[in-house]
A and B are shown apart, each in its own frame.
Chain A
Amino acid sequence: MNILSALAVGLVFGIGLIVSGMTNPAKVQGFLDLAGNWDPSLAFVMGGAILVGLVAFRLAGKRERSLLGEAMRLPTATAIDRRLVLGSLAFGAGWGLAGFCPGPALASLATGGTKPMLFTGAMLGGMLVFEILERRVATGRTRAA
């Protein structure tokens, strides 16, 4: 059941991205181009999503189990550290360069030709580098202990 709901949510999420215009990198860059001819659309996308999300996450925060009986896995991290800021800055730089963030890139894979594939392949490569570096740090820690 939770597999089916994940499939449905992924599908609806992707439809939302397409409707919102966020699968068009030029439009995303139009939002990021404050100094040029600014397209405020992305702010409306986030505003609309957060409007709905505010209610849902308030309800979710009061629950011990999800409606399907799953454990609630809400983030517990609150640290504002170098990893968070530098990582987000790097993400933002890549986002500005291509006009793609992870969701729209995936929602463009099936119909967008080779460019979204190239971006997504590199993105997976970056994620793999992260995993390798993290594992190295983890084994280093175990050895030191």
Chain B
Amino acid sequence: MSIDWIHFTPWTALAGGLVIGLAASAFVLLNGRIAGISGILGGLLRPAQGDLAWRLAFLAGLIGAPLVYILFAPLPQARIEAGDGTLIAAGLLVGLGTRYGAGCTSGHGVCGLSRLSVRSLVATASFMVAGFVTVFVLRHLIA
């Protein structure tokens, strides 16, 4: 292992993380809910009365975020290396996996670990390990 000092951005990463933490904190304190993106999105497919509006509002804010961001600063560069087929396979895995695993990076990784949940720690360790192995195969075995 070597550290990628060129791309490593500790300060913006930490600042962004604090903002994400503030958002998750505000959500649990104001709305009494977990800011877990896969759960909020997936819940749309299981309609229950009075459950739709807050989900749509949250997602509208999240989807609208870059449009607000560009009013103040140019968006940071984004590079997607995966081809279309890989993106579709990845999307299916993420959709199925986050619903069976009942959470993703936000629900388990941020909120669950903040709650000191052992269940979320196991989930986070599982998706991290799978991510490490997948990128290892992608970049070092088949590339």
Which residues does A use to contact B, with CB under 8 Å?
2-27, 29-30, 32-42, 44-57, 59-61, 63, 65-68, 70-75, 77-80, 83-103, 105-112, 115-116, 118-131
* Given A72-B32, A108-B66, 4 extra CB contacts under 8 A: A19-B15, A21-B13, A38-B1, A98-B90
Specify which of A79, A103, A125 is in contact with B91 (CB 8 Å cutoff): A125
Chain B residues with a Cβ closer than 8 Å to the other chain, count: 114
A2 to chain B, nearest CB (A): 5
- Check if A54 sits within 8 Å of B82, measured CB to CB: no
> Which B75-132 residues have a C-beta within 8 angstroms of A?
75-82, 84, 86-106, 108-119, 122-124, 126-132
Please indicate the chain A residues that have their CB under 8 angstroms from the CB of B140 in the complex.
Answer: 35-36
- Check if A94 sits within 8 Å of B119, measured CB to CB: no
Specify which of B17, B20, B96, B98 is in contact with A102 (CB 8 Å cutoff): B98
- Check if A89 sits within 8 Å of B97, measured CB to CB: yes
Please indicate the chain B residues that have their CB under 8 angstroms from the CB of A66 in the complex.
Answer: 28-32
Please indicate the chain B residues that have their CB under 8 angstroms from the CB of A47 in the complex.
Answer: 14, 17
Which residues does B use to contact A, with CB under 8 Å?
1-4, 7-10, 12-35, 37-38, 41-42, 45-46, 53-55, 57-70, 75-82, 84, 86-106, 108-119, 122-124, 126-136, 138-140
User: A18-B76, A21-B76, A75-B34 in contact; A95/B94 too (CB < 8 A)?
Assistant: yes
Specify which of B25, B69, B105 is in contact with A18 (CB 8 Å cutoff): B69
Specify which of A2, A34, A80, A126 is in contact with B99 (CB 8 Å cutoff): A126
The secondary-structure label for the interface of chain B is helix
Specify which of B75, B82, B104 is in contact with A103 (CB 8 Å cutoff): B104
- A30-B112 Cα distance, complex, nearest whole Å: 24
Please indicate the chain A residues that have their CB under 8 angstroms from the CB of B108 in the complex.
Answer: 88
- Check if B19 sits within 8 Å of A16, measured CB to CB: yes
- Check if A6 sits within 8 Å of B90, measured CB to CB: no
- A6-B104 Cα distance, complex, nearest whole Å: 19
Q: Could you list some 17 contacts between A and B, CB below 8 A?
A: A6-B27, A8-B61, A21-B9, A21-B16, A34-B1, A45-B17, A52-B21, A52-B22, A60-B29, A87-B96, A95-B94, A96-B132, A102-B106, A112-B78, A119-B88, A127-B98, A129-B96
Please indicate the chain B residues that have their CB under 8 angstroms from the CB of A67 in the complex.
Answer: 29-30
- Check if B100 sits within 8 Å of A102, measured CB to CB: no
